[in-house]
């Protein structure tokens, strides 16, 4: 590495949120919360990252209080008895000098019939889906929509009361909020379908309800992506003009920070500009943005979505540092590198690059 690492370790302030550096741990589902309850091991997992200098931890996706929100018995809940366990996580991260936000999540139609914790409940989504005579996706009524909006608002209210420093709404990767955005999964004929404005209505109602629940100053982060798990080539907004039409209403509704998910952070989002998705989002909205996508490793995450013996080695981050110093984006989310190496931030700050651990799928089997 030859670039100056100091920009990565400059403080960041937005309203009441002050971070000691620009490093973010993004949400990554780990499946270590049996019965939806985060365990002591989960608390220690997040605490170790805070102790080693991560500025903001965004938890793995935590599901809101709706029967079809979750898709596995070991995904953490953000309601009921689980809240007391999340309070332990918050206190541990704060004691270690870190800041933390829960990611609030609903799987939508990505949930499979028969999934825990409610195996008889079908998935919920914008459109009904019947497979071999069985309803596998329940097309959401307007009453269903309001129930889910209320569930997100309650989760955000609980997060603030528990002492979380912000909340993130999961509007990316083909899950429920994103399913309403995407023409391929939302062909409704009412006010929630059709134009981009209508397809964004569900998300706007969630953001406004969350804003009402947490007050005017509490930070709301919104994660979105162009790609989907079902289609890595999908483009929600193929031009800067369409991206602006998508983002502007979210800003007006109350989003403070955008978390802009790319597969590879270094790829330009549109022809004629080197700006990545976070860079374009910052340029269009003026809001702080988090960039993410294969940071610190030489192999992108898709290579590890299947059983493989591939190993991702440490990658040079000079390009990342140059973009950060040029104010292309404000914050940097480091994913798999932090799963395998809780000391990643400290090692980078101290120049111990040769000590950073490589990533393989084996790292997903434990909480280190």
Sheet architecture: strand order including 134-139: 123-125, 134-139, 129-131
Report d(CA 139, CA 171) in Å as an integer: 18
Q: Which of 45, 175, 218, 224 is catalytic?
A: 175
117 prior amide bond cis, ω within 30 = yes
Instruction: Please answer whether residues 165 and 99 qualify as being in contact, where contact means their C-beta atoms are separated by less than 8 angstroms.
Output: yes
Query: How buried is 2 (Cβ within 10 angstroms: 0-12 exposed, 13-18 middle, 19+ buried)?
Result: exposed
Query: For the chain, how long is the longest CA-to-CA vector?
Result: 61
Give the Cβ contact number of residue 260 at 10 Å.
Answer: 28
Closest CA to 125 of 197, 175, 53, 54: 175
Cα-to-chain-centroid distance, residue 314: 23
DSSP annotation of 297 = B
Query: Kindly report the CA angle at 30 between 350 and 71, in degrees rounded to 5?
Result: 155
Directed axis angle between helix 201-214 and helix 142-162, to 10°?
30
**Would you report the helix, strand and coil content of the chain in percent, each value rounded to 5?**
35, 20, 45
Please identify which residue in the block is written with the tokens 């395998």. Answer: 340
Cα-to-chain-centroid distance, residue 363: 20
Question: Is 192 designated active site?
Answer: no
For the annotated catalytic residues, the residue numbers are 175
């Amino acid at each position: 590495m030859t670039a100056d690492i100091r920009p990565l370790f400059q403080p960041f302030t937005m309203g009441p949120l002050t971070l000691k550096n620009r490093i973010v741990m993004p949400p990554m589902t780990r499946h270590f919360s049996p019965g939806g309850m985060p365990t002591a091991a989960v608390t220690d997992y997040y605490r170790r990252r805070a102790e080693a200098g991560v500025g903001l931890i965004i938890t793995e996706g935590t599901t809101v209080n709706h029967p079809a929100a979750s898709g596995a018995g070991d995904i953490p809940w953000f309601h009921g008895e689980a809240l007391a366990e999340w309070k332990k996580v918050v206190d541990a991260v704060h004691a270690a000098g870190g800041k933390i936000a829960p990611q609030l999540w609903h799987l939508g139609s990505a949930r499979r019939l028969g999934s825990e914790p409610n195996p008889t409940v079908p998935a919920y989504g914008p459109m009904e889906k019947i497979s071999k005579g069985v309803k596998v996706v329940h097309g959401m009524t307007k009453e269903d929509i309001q129930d889910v909006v209320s569930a997100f608002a309650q989760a955000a209210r609980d997060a603030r009361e528990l002492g979380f420093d912000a909340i993130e709404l999961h509007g990316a990767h083909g899950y429920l909020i994103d399913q309403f955005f995407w023409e391929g999964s939302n062909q409704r004929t009412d006010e929630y379908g059709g134009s981009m404005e209508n397809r964004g209505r569900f998300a706007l109602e969630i953001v406004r309800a969350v804003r009402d629940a947490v007050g005017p100053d509490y930070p709301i982060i919104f994660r979105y992506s162009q790609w989907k798990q079902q289609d890595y080539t999908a483009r929600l907004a193929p031009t800067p003009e369409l991206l602006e039409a998508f983002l502007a209403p979210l800003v007006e509704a109350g989003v403070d920070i955008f978390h802009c998910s790319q597969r590879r952070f270094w790829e330009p989002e549109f022809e004629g500009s080197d700006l990545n998705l976070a860079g374009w989002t910052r340029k269009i909205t003026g809001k702080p943005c988090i960039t993410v996508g294969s940071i610190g490793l030489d192999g992108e995450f898709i290579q590890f979505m299947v059983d493989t013996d591939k190993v991702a080695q440490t990658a040079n981050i000079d390009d990342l540092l140059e973009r950060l110093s040029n104010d292309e984006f404000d914050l940097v989310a480091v994913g798999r590198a932090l799963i395998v190496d809780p000391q990643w931030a400290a090692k980078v700050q101290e120049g111990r690059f040769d000590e950073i651990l490589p990533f393989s799928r084996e790292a997903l089997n434990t909480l280190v």
